[in-house]
Amino acid sequence: METDIFSDSSALLDALKKANASTIKHHGSNATLERAVFLSWWCGKGDCDFCYLSTQRHRIKDPAKARRRVSSVLAEVEILRGIGWRVEFLSSGYGSHSIEELQRIAQMVSYVSGDGVWLNVGVLSDEQLRAFGDEIAGVVASIETLDTELRKRVCPDKDLKKSVEMLIEAEKLGLKKGATIVLGLGEDESQIPALLDFVRSNNLDRVTVYSLNPHRGTPLGNHPPPASLYQAGVIALLRLNFPKLEIIGGTWIDQLPNIGIMLLAGANAITKYPLFSMFGNRYGRKVEEEVRYSNRQLLGTFSDMDVLAGRKKLPKNRDPRCVRKCMKPRIPGTIAEEVESMRGEIDDKIRSYVETVEKRAKKY
Ligand code: SF4
């Protein structure tokens, strides 16, 4: 299929139109809200040009202290479940937790969310992958870019070969496989065929297409995020080449107008938003408007304070756990007991998150 859709506006519009039709045909018209749940601010590599964690590495003296409390993670997951957002994946930098710790957290998150969890915690070996059980739905390889020269500069310690090996092992274990890419790192559309080849050769189930969020203090802190139509065009080409692929589009709070066009281009879900700064205020409502004008039905809510505070439940037709098939993982009873033993702490944290959101919603 032709990938040069950017030098001719009719080709781009045609690709968007066909991608939209393919998305509706194969996935229907629902759109979900996703959120990566962070476990730690530590990364043992800490040298990627676009990553916020790279600005923190020298400040963190004790990696163990950079971890989030498990009760805080679970409070966030419980809120996500209530408002109908999906946990996109559990995310951490390299070396923040042992495999045993990651498994325990994944089991607890899976118990609270009621769904299998994806992991995006760096490259995992065959042996490490085998340590996990039913709580894991899939693994994500952080690819970022397939431009070989650019990779050496922007994420010098991320070994693409090792990521591919992880995906191969994951497939053998029957796990789903995903990848993240970041647009706007300095690549251009000439890299799109390599991306399509990568998705094909690794038989990926899911791809997250982020736009660069230029973090202050990183070498890319002053780079512009990619054009909305470039991000949409990449998504459209993914959709046209892989009709059944799950595509998640990620933009930051300053790129909200990208949402509508990403959905028309074939994104099934959107991600990367600072939930607690945007929920219920003009930013959260803007997201909902973007979804509405792309003729998609939003699952979950970005604005209903009663749902957030637990005073009201989401209607079943807006709850992704009712609309989409969940994994229904088998979680050991001891994990359930462990979560419930933290109930007081989790509830306190939920109350504190809800209060923060309510204050911010009044401000904007
Ligand atoms: S390896 Fe991942 S977490 Fe670590 S600095 Fe790079 S992008 Fe950030």
Residue written as tokens 């990183």? 218
Cα separations in angstroms, 193 against 4, 147, 190: 10, 11, 7
End-to-end CA distance of the chain: 46
Q: Which atom of ligand 1 is nearest to the CA of 45?
A: 4
Angle at 176 between CA 41 and CA 39, to 5 degrees: 15
Rounded to the nearest angstrom, the distance between the alpha carbon of 280 and the centre of ligand 1 is: 31
Whether the CB-CB separation of 208 and 248 falls below 8 Å is answered with yes
Q: What is the atom index within ligand 1 of the atom nearest the CA of 44? A: 4
Instruction: Identify the residue whose C-alpha is closest to ligand 1 atom 2.
Output: 93
- Cβ–Cβ contacts within 10 Å for residue 102, how many? 22
- Domain 2-361: state its class: alpha beta
Q: Which of 57, 142, 151, 163 to mutate to test the pocket of ligand 1 (most atoms within 8 A of CB)?
A: 142
Global confidence as pTM: 0.96
pLDDT of res. 197: 97
In the numeric block, which tokens belong to residue 211? 């736009």
| Closest C-alpha among 250, 233, 266, 208 to residue 24 | 266
b/e sequence 259-271, b meaning 16+ C-beta within 10 Å: bbbbbbbbbbbbb
Any residues with Cβ below 6 Å from ligand 1, and which?
A: 43, 45-46, 48, 51, 53-54, 93-94, 142, 155, 158
The confidence score (pLDDT) of residue 57 equals: 84
User: Closest Cα to residue 90, out of 178, 198, 174, 218?
Assistant: 178
Crossing angle for the helix pair 258-265 and 282-293, to the nearest 10 degrees: 30
Helix (H) or strand (E) holding 201: helix 192-201
Q: Which of 210, 89, 97 is nearest to 138 (CA)?
A: 89
Ligand 1 centre distance from Cα of residue 217 (Å): 15
Tokens of 141: 């390889």
Q: Point out the ligand 1 atom lying closest to the alpha carbon of residue 51.
A: 8
Q: Whose CA is nearest to atom 8 of ligand 1?
A: 51
pLDDT at 363: 73
**Ligand 1 centroid to residue 158 C-alpha, Å:** 8
pLDDT by residue, tens only, the chain of 364 residues: 677 899 999 999 999 999 999 999 999 999 999 999 999 999 999 899 999 999 988 888 888 889 999 999 999 999 999 999 999 999 999 989 999 999 999 999 999 999 999 999 999 999 999 999 999 999 999 999 999 999 999 999 999 999 999 999 999 999 999 999 999 999 999 999 999 999 999 999 999 999 999 999 999 999 999 999 999 999 999 999 999 999 999 999 999 999 999 999 999 999 999 999 999 999 999 999 999 999 999 999 999 999 999 999 999 999 998 887 666 788 999 999 999 999 999 999 999 999 999 988 877 6
Give distance in angstroms: CA of 304 to centre of ligand 1. Answer: 34
Residue whose entry in the numeric block shows the structure tokens 């397939």: 146
- The tokens describing 259, both together, are 């949402």
- Cα(187) to centroid(ligand 1), Å: 19
Which residue, by CA, sits nearest to atom 6 of ligand 1? 48
For residue 45, the CA-to-ligand 1 centroid distance in Å is: 6
Torsion, Cα 254 295 206 39, to 10 degrees, reads 40
The whole-number pLDDT of residue 1 equals 64
